[in-house]
């Protein structure tokens, strides 16, 4: 059975965060701290809908001022790029170590600017 999913729009109003659940009368909470919004909203929805606290999913839509939204989007883009670069680095290191298989760990380490211990680790990961 599919779990119900409720869409929640979150805005900052003055110094409070306000979360509104789409299509649910009374499905609104506000808090000074963003980290408390989910628990408070789940508590309220569980009471309103007569469901268990964790029997439904929430889909979050944060509405931030444009400058904040752009900063968050840029950060998320940079994080994705970093993760892709880390994966590329991991694969390239593994391939380089495999290509240098005939060399000692110490010599391979010098060529790749890695410690011979790291070369040994990469060789054992194959």
4-17 pLDDT per residue, tens:
999 999 999 999 99
Domain residues of the chain, as ranges?
5-63, 68-124
76-125 pLDDT per residue, tens:
999 999 999 999 999 999 999 999 999 999 999 999 999 999 999 999 98
Quote the pLDDT of residue 47: 94
What is the chain's alpha carbon radius of gyration, rounded to the nearest angstrom?
25
Which residues face 5 on adjacent strands?
A: 57
57-66 pLDDT per residue, tens:
999 999 999 9
At 55, phi and psi to the nearest 5? Answer: -95, 5
The CATH code belonging to domain 5-63 is 3.30.160
Query: H or E element: which one contains 17?
Result: strand 16-21
Instruction: Quote the pTM value.
Output: 0.70
């Amino acid at each position: 059975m599919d779990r119900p999913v409720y869409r929640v729009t979150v805005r900052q109003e003055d110094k409070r965060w306000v979360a509104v659940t789409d299509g649910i009368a009374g499905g609104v909470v506000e808090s000074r701290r963003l980290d408390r919004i989910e628990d408070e909203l789940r508590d309220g929805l569980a009471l309103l809908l007569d469901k268990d606290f964790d029997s439904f999913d929430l889909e979050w839509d944060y509405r931030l001022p444009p400058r904040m939204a752009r900063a968050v989007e840029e950060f998320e883009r940079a994080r994705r790029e970093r993760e892709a670069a880390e994966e590329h680095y991991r694969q390239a290191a593994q391939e380089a170590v495999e290509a240098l298989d005939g060399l000692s760990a110490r010599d391979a380490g010098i060529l790749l600017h890695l410690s011979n211990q790291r070369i040994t680790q990469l060789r054992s990961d194959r």
